[in-house]
Structure 1
């Protein structure tokens, strides 16, 4: 017979969850508060209320150029990581004995420190292709985003009905039609979840972008880092708040398209 959970343990669990939520959300509240401060310096609680830091951020060529670069890069990474990761996940779901070793290879960027990968890619790219370029950033971000697409897609494929594809084959559907009309619809929740992760990882990636940058290739996280290092002001908080809002907007879109319950299961 299962014994009832003691009351003190349930209270302790709720307190722990509440403290963890405060610990995760408090930095976001501080950033948002600083972004509307009337003070010239980064300080919390804010002194006064003003949107001028948002006006300065949205009117700054440096921030705008960095934003468009990061956005273009994230979109391309999302497309490439979804295509490659989805294809790899479908292949792994049908793999035999060697599937485990191949999956470990594809997921290795999750355990490899970003700085080690960044240094290695910088040395390799410089030796083979010369100066770093947008293509180097695209390749690097795609490599670290692919494992997330694979994991979410494999999680969905593990729960698929294997007899649907067999039924389609029995009805005379070609391999391409089975892939397009049976397998891909089953992968859809995992692919959308993986695309969400790929976009956010690329858009927020700082270590790889810092090592692979050049004077004409500065992403938004690198621009924020440079601003904090040399002349910090609440403009950084305003830009960070806008990045938070973009992430929230993407989550709402994903909820509309997929549903958070299915997203979490993916």
Structure 2
């Protein structure tokens, strides 16, 4: 009998490993969905019966709706704040000099330092400047946490495309502002848009900083945390299911924007 060739074993070993990793990551998320339609008043798997009353309970609760709206508003402004400043920083650091690398490392520090340390420092500063519990304060804090992702994404796209198109526009007679507005910025539109979507969800899902500085002004993650700590009803599973659907749609939109074929520039 001919022994199996080592290369044939490697051909299925890697896909099997990837499948196991994906199952480990996705399966706990998928288990939440059936628990959100269970008739029991506590989390149970496998679910018993089928009901949508937990979704109705979410939409009928003023506390849940207020927390959701607050998180959406904070996420929108945090995303705008992080996207604008992060894009500007990516352009400013595109030369890759020693100082650019040093400043770029400092901009990435919010994702390197443990988030609880960041939250403690932010709380001490905000108490001094009377920003504790304010929307402006949480927008600034969440924008700071999301900015590294914008800088990395936009800077990577800028390095891949370089400044060839902008230089070509300058050679053809366009000024620096016109070359930036009509050539460079449109070429980065997909990466900037996906960065904005990612920054929104960084803010929308953030819990630790919000717990430190928002007080009684609950965001949606704070409301989920309070429910898990005190009640642990299937409403949490219903909220998680809605968030899964929204996240999948947002990721699909960002992937479509990244891979959408760019329109050709008409001749003449």
Rounded Cα–Cα distance in structure 2 between residues aligned with 1:119 and 1:54: 35
Q: 2:240 matched to which residue of 1?
A: 240
Q: 1:145 matched to which residue of 2?
A: 146
Gaps of 5+ in 1: none
Rounded Cα–Cα distance in structure 1 between residues aligned with 2:131 and 2:179: 44
Q: 2:30 matched to which residue of 1?
A: 29
Residue 249 of structure 1 deviates from its aligned partner by 1.5
Q: Tell me, yes or no, if the aligned pair for 1:122 and 1:132 is still in contact at 8 Å.
A: no
SS in 1 for 2:160: coil
Q: Tell me, yes or no, if the aligned pair for 2:78 and 2:203 is still in contact at 8 Å.
A: yes
Residue 129 of structure 1 deviates from its aligned partner by 2.1
Q: What CA deviation, in whole Å up to 9, does each residue of 1:3-52 have, x standing for no partner?
A: x9622222221221111111111111111011010111111110111111
Q: 2:265 matched to which residue of 1?
A: none
Gaps of 5+ in 2: 263-268
- Using the TM superposition, name which of 203-212 and 253-262 deviates more: 253-262
Rounded Cα–Cα distance in structure 2 between residues aligned with 1:22 and 1:74: 30
Q: Tell me, yes or no, if the aligned pair for 2:149 and 2:199 is still in contact at 8 Å.
A: yes
Cα RMSD (Å): 1.9
Rounded Cα–Cα distance in structure 1 between residues aligned with 2:150 and 2:36: 33
Q: Tell me, yes or no, if the aligned pair for 1:34 and 1:42 is still in contact at 8 Å.
A: yes
1:106 and 2:107 aligned: yes
Rounded Cα–Cα distance in structure 1 between residues aligned with 2:25 and 2:260: 20
SS in 2 for 1:159: helix
Q: 2:72 matched to which residue of 1?
A: 71
Residue 121 of structure 1 deviates from its aligned partner by 0.6
Residue 95 of structure 1 deviates from its aligned partner by 5.0
Rounded Cα–Cα distance in structure 2 between residues aligned with 1:60 and 1:208: 25
1:252 and 2:258 aligned: no
Q: Tell me, yes or no, if the aligned pair for 1:156 and 1:189 is still in contact at 8 Å.
A: no
User: 1:223-238 counterparts in 2 under 5 A?
Assistant: 223-238=223-238
Q: 1:220 matched to which residue of 2?
A: 220
Residue 78 of structure 1 deviates from its aligned partner by 1.2
User: Cα–Cα, structure 1 residues 155 and 132, in superposed 2: closer, same or farther, change >3 Å?
Assistant: same
Rounded Cα–Cα distance in structure 2 between residues aligned with 1:127 and 1:55: 42
Rounded Cα–Cα distance in structure 2 between residues aligned with 1:236 and 1:17: 30
User: Cα–Cα, structure 1 residues 110 and 131, in superposed 2: closer, same or farther, change >3 Å?
Assistant: closer
Q: 1:13 matched to which residue of 2?
A: 14
